[in-house]
Chains A and B, each alone.
Chain A
């Protein structure tokens, strides 16, 4: 059974709309992350959270907003979507910030 659940698996959106990517982990971890992989680019770190607090933000745009309603949830809200936002977004978690990462299967977002 997957321990890190990302929903949906695929998402198609129109330019200018807003979407929320869901991530829940059942590993009892205290740190959660978002990564993005665009076509032909390396996986790129976006955010890290520890005990539901933002620890690191490498995303230039404020259109990307993580939301942590519970300790084991870290959703990603994306507003004013652009075609360049098309990518696979991976959620990850670790016991603490500097431990081994475990990844979800990703949400593939296509913005038309």
Chain B
């Protein structure tokens, strides 16, 4: 079946640095969403992309349907960026979202 492979599973960053999370898809996906789990367990939507790139503050996401991947870049990491990030993709044929396994980001001083 359709799958989403998210990496890395854990990421440690120092304040002010940056890195990228990546999701690879086994088939062509129609769109991708990125979420962060907040302290109450809710999943907060960060980005929704059907193509191209979007930027919001220190976060930037890209989605390439043809190459079957999406990325989430964090720059100038801050302590409040710590949390678990998920990507989720919509397959071409279905309405269901397929989630990655998550990346736990830890930002330290």
A102 to B63, CA, bound (A): 20
**Chain A minimum-CB-distance residue to B45:** A100
B95→A56 contact, CB < 8 A:
yes
A25-56 CB mask vs B (1 if < 8 Å, else 0) is: 00000000001000001111100100000011
B99→A103 contact, CB < 8 A:
no
A103 to B99, CA, bound (A): 14
A55 to B95, CA, bound (A): 9
A2 to B39, CA, bound (A): 13
A71-112 CB mask vs B (1 if < 8 Å, else 0) is: 000000000000000001010100001111111111000000
Which residues of chain B have C-beta atoms less than 8 A from A61's C-beta?
A: none
B65-109 CB mask vs A (1 if < 8 Å, else 0) is: 000000000000000000000101010001111111110000000
A69 in contact (CB, < 8 A): no
A105→B95 contact, CB < 8 A:
no
Interface residues on chain B, size class: 20 to 34
Across chains A and B, the number of contacting residue pairs, with CB separation under 8 Å, is 56
Query: Within the complex, what minimum Cβ distance (angstroms) separates B78 from chain A?
Result: 23
Known A-B contacts A42-B4, A43-B88, A98-B90; A106 and B42 likewise in contact (beta carbons under 8 Å): yes
B10 in contact (CB, < 8 A): no
Which residues of chain A have C-beta atoms less than 8 A from B86's C-beta?
A: 43
**Chain B minimum-CB-distance residue to A97:** B95
B43 in contact (CB, < 8 A): yes
A58 in contact (CB, < 8 A): yes
Query: Within the complex, what minimum Cβ distance (angstroms) separates B45 from chain A?
Result: 5
> By CB atoms of chain B within 10 A, which of A35, A42, A44, A106 has the most?
A42
B33 in contact (CB, < 8 A): yes
B96→A58 contact, CB < 8 A:
yes
A106 to B39, CA, bound (A): 12
Chain B residues within 8 Å of A, Cβ to Cβ: 4, 31, 33, 35, 40-45, 48, 86, 88, 90, 94-102
